[in-house]
Each structure stands twice: as C-alpha cells, then as structure tokens.
Amino acid sequence: MANQDALLRVERLVKYFPISRGLIFQKQVGAVHAVDDVSFDIYRGETLGLVGESGCGKSTTGRTILQLYRPTSGHVYYDGQDLVAMKGEKMRAMRKRMQMIFQDPYASLNPRMTVGEIIGEPLVIHNVARGKQMQDRVQDLLKLVGLNPAFSNRYPHEFSGGQRQRIGVARALALQPDLIICDEPISALDVSIQAQVVNLLEDLQRDFNLTYLFIAHDLSMVKHISDRVAVMYLGIIAEITSRDELYAHPLHPYTQALLSAVPIPDPLAEEKRQRIILQGDVPSPVNPPSGCRFRTRCPLATTICAEARPELREVSPGHFVACHLV
Amino acid sequence: MADLFNVQGLETRFRTREGYVHAVNGVSFHLKEGETVGIVGESGCGKSVTVMSTLRLIPTPPGKVTAGQAIYQGKDLLKMSDEEIRHVRGSQISMVFQDPMTSFNPVLTIGRQVAEPLEIHNGMSRAQALERAAEMLKMVGIPNAKDRLNDYPHQFSGGMRQRVMIAMALICTPQVLIADEPTTALDVTIQAQIIELIKRLRDELGMAIIWITHDLGIVAGLAKRVMVMYGGYIIEEALVKELYGHPQHPYTIGLLGSLPRMDEDAHRRLTSIDGLPPVLLENPNYCPFAPRCKFALDHCWNENPQLRTIGPDHTVACWVDPTTGKER
C-alpha cells in the first residue's frame, strides 16, 4: 500500500463547531467535536468507504476535505498541495478537480432551475463552456448517466428520486474531476433503485478512472463498492484497512459490534449468527469521553481506556486500529 | 390453530387530483397466535396502508377502504363502531411507528403517554397506571425508569424513544403488535438493540407480530412467514427459508439480487430492476410488475395474475416460471 500514489492525504484533521450563548455579546461556551484528529490517504483510482453511525463526523470529514467547512486545524493535501492554506482564485481552480454528490436528491437540486441549467452551471462558473458548447456537453452528460438528453428542459420535480440522483451525478461529472465525495448517495433511495445508482457509479469509475470517497452507514453496500474502508466513531477513525481484511478480521471492538449488527438477507445465515449487542447510545460529541471514545460502550474496556487516547497504529501491513487492547 | 387475525380482499383507495390511487388491491392474509409475519416492499407499495386500513387509521377523506374484511377474534374491525374499535386499538392490537419523534406528543410527559392506554382501556387510576408504566419502561431497558416518567420526549435519544414507544404499545399486553418500520430511523447498532428487545418481549409476552419493512435483512432473522408487496398487491408469500432460498416472483428475485450481502466474498454486479414502481390509477388488466419484468410474456400484458399455490406454504402471483422463463 505504501508505494501507492495518494491523490488525497488527510493529516490530523480537526473540525470543531463552536456552541455560543448570548444574544449580543456572544461567548463560546463549548464545541461540538465533530472531527477530532483524523488522518488517512485516498489512493488514485480507488474507492475508500467511510462508515459510521449518524453523528460520527463522516459527512463533516467529507465537507472539510472539500473546504466547504474550513478545518479547525490539520492539513488536506490534494496532489501534494495543501488545500487548507489555499484561498481565492487558486482554491476555485482546485475545486474543479473535486466534486460532491449529496444524500438528499430532493434538497440538493434547485427547484427553479432546469436540469440543463443545473448540470451546466459548473461549466459556466468555471468558464469551461458556454452557449451551444455547454448544451452539447449537458446532453452528453445526461446520456452518460442514463437519462434522456431531451430532459434538459425539465425541472427537478418531474423526476423520481433515482433519476434526481443521476442528475446530481451528472452535475458532479461536468468538470471531469478526479475525486468525487459521495455523501450517502443512495440512502434516500428504494432498494431496487439503489442498485441502479451504485452500478452507475461503478461504471463511471471504471470509464473515467475516478477516485471516490464513499460515505455511508450501510455496511453491506460499503463492502460492495469499496477497496478500503475506514470506520469512524464519534469524530475519530477507529479502524482502517482493505475491504477484505476489515470484513474478515475486524479488530476494533466497535467494528466487530457494527458488523455483527448488520442483518443479512438470508434466514439460514441469520440463524447461525452471534450478535454483539452494544449497550447504551453514542455519547454527545460536545463532551466526548476521555481516553478512548468508545470506552463507554465497549464490552472490553479497562482502566487504561479511560486514561489515554489510543493512537491509530499499524498492526499488520495496511491495517490500522485505534485500540489499546489490540 | 385458528387464525387470530384474518384479512380478506382488502381494498383501499385515495382520492387525488389525478383520480383514485389504488393503494391496496384485494390483499388477504392471516396471522396465527404468537406468530411473526413480515410484510416487505418498497415505499409506496401499500404495506403501511394495508395495516392502517385494518385498524381504520386511514384519514377519510381522501382515503377510503372500499372492500374487504378484517376479522379479529370473530369480529370484523371494518364494521365496528368507532367506540368498539377504540377498545381494540392500543389494547388488543397496537402499533409501533417508524418515527419515534413525531409519534409522541411533545408537551406531555413520557409517563402520561405510556400510562394513558391503561387509564383508557383498563380504567386504572393515574397513580396505578404510572406505577405500571415505570415497570414497563424498566422492562424495555430504560435506566432509572421511575425518575424518567416526568421527562419529555425530547429528553430521550432516538433509540430510547423507540423503546418508550414499544413500552407504550405493549402496556396493555396486546395480542397483536404491528411494527411499521420501527428501526428504519435508527443506527444499525441501535437497530440491533431494538430487534433483540422485541424478540425478547415476544417470547415473554407471547404476542403475534406483523413487521413491516423495506429491509429484507431484518425480516430474515425475525419472521416465520413473509409477504412481498408490489403496487398494492401481495405478489409472493412463503415461509422465510423458502422465500429467500427459492424466490419465485421476478420482483422478489430482483429485490434479493439488488442487495449486496455482507457475507459474500466475490464482487458481483448488483442486478438492478430497471424502471420505477407504479402508481396505479386503475385496476390493471396486466401484471403490475410487467413493465419492469425481464420475464414478461404476452400473457402478462393481458391478464393480471392472481396468487396461486405452487408449493407447501408458498403462493405467488406470476404467470411465469423464472427457472424456465416459460409459462407455469
């Protein structure tokens, strides 16, 4: 893995959201520790799955990478250049190369714009194409994502959820980016439609050598689409390794519990399974537990877990775990 | 054993500007004492409307149950007076809904809301009912149950709120629990907690369960029998192992093929089902799945197939035998 070419390198990324009180004289009374010291690489042409439960910071991580949120500290190197230090025109030029697909296909398309305008907007903003040239490109993009090019004059409400998500994919592809951050792109869709969109994403990756950061909470789908998988819990990365290694030999107690909780659509397999049922809820990210973030729900926690924060260590080649007991 | 609950020929329509939407089209099913049955289907397939119709919870207008009967302990729920059905709902048949936030009254304490069914159905005093509510909350795993009676719904997390809802549904020890996607809004580790809880309570209290979900995985480990719905019709019904092992309807086959499985090693391309689920404005004289079906024959476009028995405890509404691609 070490000799692979990293397109994106995230280093000690931290994002706190301030909580302030007071109407006129606002003072900060705390912070939501949304992302707390996260580091990982994404290699060129791979799909890195980022999984975790709601509120674990996976979407914030994605948005902070794209500098949609500016990080509290840390670095994001894209092709060797630090995005955190970048501003203005330089940042704008850089944005061409990384795009995003959002979770909610109903909220992420402007209802007053036609599909053609939505997909063409990035081309206009970045001065790539205008007029007839832009329209031709929009038609190509619509074909590419499996929609009828004649639809470019229609409005988003005329489409189903799956079709809207295809529009979102076309918009992300318009500028021919290298990296697409897919933020739960299928969780709002029905099962039979999910497969359509996932197959489309896989085809596009093969055809255009795209790199994906695939953020999701559906562990079965993440296993299906990813080359490597990172598991997040309460703002930190608990475990990161190749897909096969993670699902065959999960080492972090949280990963083990998470995998055991996923239902398998096969009654014979379900009968044989042993579930690890975690106690309690995820603690608040305003006041995360000391030491290991997972210790309050961990069935194996000992005193050291409350005292020191476990670093993400490489326990076997390419397999990183943040746990004192591994 | 006799059926505890038997629904025959249920039809529900909704009036819309475009015409009457045929949401439920002649659905029949039965439930035995202590049995767990799953109803599976995608959004809009009529799975929730089916059970809501039997309990007369469909807002009328625009909705209307136009045909059918729902026999519970020898009586037709659809013909009962409002007074009578109120005694059934929440006491003998109760429901757990998907969204635990919008299913509670935000300005009443949890204690009041969990205890309310006892005051209404069993005529208990407020104090007695609250005491019982505390026991029930403890049973569903709420820590410090007694102190939390005075808390409001927003003071509970999503998973805890769903536990409270289960406590409320089970406080009168109903014979039937209808669970309408109770874990869809929850994270997977919390979902596992809730499913374990319901399994435990089922074994302790011996109620029958109708579990409505779009997640074929949940039903696999929970139900004894599964019904698959599409376009307001039940299109396949079988015992779980049979349904997952030998699915016969092209829709069921497609649905199972479109799910990635965590326990499979080789990467396989997901078989997607092209097209979209239908919105039926009339009773079609063709199979409602035909427009999306790989196996569709001429017959499928001329006549809507009825459920037929094709094996022990296995019925399917399809003209085609998917193993041969020819008519059955």
pLDDT in tens, A156-211: 998 888 899 999 999 999 999 999 999 999 888 888 888 989 999 999 999 999 99
Per the CB < 8 A criterion, the answer to whether B94 and B179 are in contact is: no
Judged by CB atoms closer than 8 Å, whether chains meet at B262 and A264 is answered as yes
Q: What is the pLDDT of residues A271-310, one digit of tens each?
A: 888 888 888 888 888 889 999 999 999 999 999 999 999 9
At B1 the pLDDT is 61
Q: What is the pLDDT of residues A121-144, one digit of tens each?
A: 999 999 888 889 999 999 999 999
Judged by CB atoms closer than 8 Å, whether chains meet at A223 and B260 is answered as yes
Cα angle value A290/A296/A298 (rounded, 5°) = 120
Interface predicted TM-score of the whole assembly (ipTM), two decimals = 0.81
> In B, which residues are within 8 Å of A281 by CB distance?
157, 159-160, 190
Of A53, A54, A191, the CB nearest to B259: A191
Of B196, B221, B272, the CB nearest to A199: B272
Interface test mutation site (partner A, options B272, B276, B313, max chain A beta carbons within 10 A):
B272
> In B, which residues are within 8 Å of A57 by CB distance?
none
Judged by CB atoms closer than 8 Å, whether chains meet at B241 and A268 is answered as yes
Quick one: how far is CA A104 from the chain centroid? Answer: 14
Of A244, A247, A270, the CB nearest to B220: A270
Q: What is the pLDDT of residues A57-109, one digit of tens each?
A: 999 999 999 999 999 999 999 999 999 999 889 999 999 999 999 988 888 99
B204 CB within 8 Å of a chain A CB = no
Per the CB < 8 A criterion, the answer to whether B167 and B133 are in contact is: yes
Of B43, B159, B244, the CB nearest to A265: B244
> In A, which residues are within 8 Å of B267 by CB distance?
224
Judged by CB atoms closer than 8 Å, whether chains meet at A263 and B215 is answered as yes
Of A199, A261, A267, the CB nearest to B240: A267
Count Cβ–Cβ pairs < 8 Å, chain A vs chain B: 120
Q: What's the DSSP call for residue B305?
A: P
Cis, peptide link before residue B61, omega less than 30° from 0: yes
Cβ neighbours of residue A127 closer than 8 Å, sequence gap 6 or more: none
Q: How far is CA B121 from CA A279, B51, B114, B160, B219, in A?
A: 34, 21, 13, 25, 31
Per the CB < 8 A criterion, the answer to whether B92 and B99 are in contact is: no
d(CA A119, CA A110): 11
Beta strands in B2-82 (DSSP E): 3-16, 19-32, 36-40, 63-72, 75-76
State the burial class of residue B247 (Cβ atoms within 10 Å of its Cβ: 0-12, 13-18, 19+): buried
d(CA B23, CA B88): 24
A104: left (phi over 0), alpha (psi -120 to 50) or beta: beta
Of A223, A246, A213, A255, the C-alpha closest to A53 is A255
At A29 the pLDDT is 86
> In B, which residues are within 8 Å of A234 by CB distance?
none
> In A, which residues are within 8 Å of B221 by CB distance?
263-264, 267, 270-271, 273
Cβ neighbours of residue A126 closer than 8 Å, sequence gap 6 or more: A92, A93, A96, A175
Most distant CA atoms of chain A, gap in Å:
67
Nearest chain B residue to A226 by CA distance is B267
Q: What is the number of other CB atoms lying within 10 angstroms of the CB of residue B102?
A: 10
SS3 at position B51: helix
Task: Tell me the domains of chain A and their CATH numbers.
Answer: 6-97+177-218+227-238 (3.40.50.300)
Q: What is the pLDDT of residues A111-122, one digit of tens each?
A: 999 999 999 999
Judged by CB atoms closer than 8 Å, whether chains meet at B262 and A219 is answered as yes
SS3 at position B308: strand
How much is the average pLDDT of B65-89?
91
d(CA B189, CA A278): 7
Cis, peptide link before residue B62, omega less than 30° from 0: yes
- Measured in angstroms, the CA of A259 and the nearest CA of chain B are apart by 8
Judged by CB atoms closer than 8 Å, whether chains meet at B244 and A281 is answered as no
> In B, which residues are within 8 Å of A260 by CB distance?
192
Judged by CB atoms closer than 8 Å, whether chains meet at B260 and A196 is answered as no
Q: What is the pLDDT of residues B227-254, one digit of tens each?
A: 999 999 999 999 999 999 999 999 999 9
Nearest chain A residue to B216 by CA distance is A265
How much is the average pLDDT of B270-287?
85
SS3 at position A239: strand
How much is the average pLDDT of B285-295?
91
- Measured in angstroms, the CA of A303 and the nearest CA of chain B are apart by 24
Q: What is the pLDDT of residues B113-141, one digit of tens each?
A: 999 999 989 889 999 999 999 988 988 88
Residues of A with CB under 8 A from a CB of B: 53-54, 160, 162, 190-196, 198-199, 202, 217, 219-221, 223-224, 244, 247, 257-271, 273, 275, 277-278, 281-282
Q: How far is CA A188 from CA A102, A161, B61, B65, in A?
A: 10, 8, 29, 30
Judged by CB atoms closer than 8 Å, whether chains meet at B42 and A258 is answered as no
pTM, full prediction: 0.86
At A1 the pLDDT is 43
State the burial class of residue A185 (Cβ atoms within 10 Å of its Cβ: 0-12, 13-18, 19+): buried
Q: What is the pLDDT of residues A208-262, one digit of tens each?
A: 999 999 999 889 999 999 999 999 999 999 999 999 999 999 999 999 999 999 9
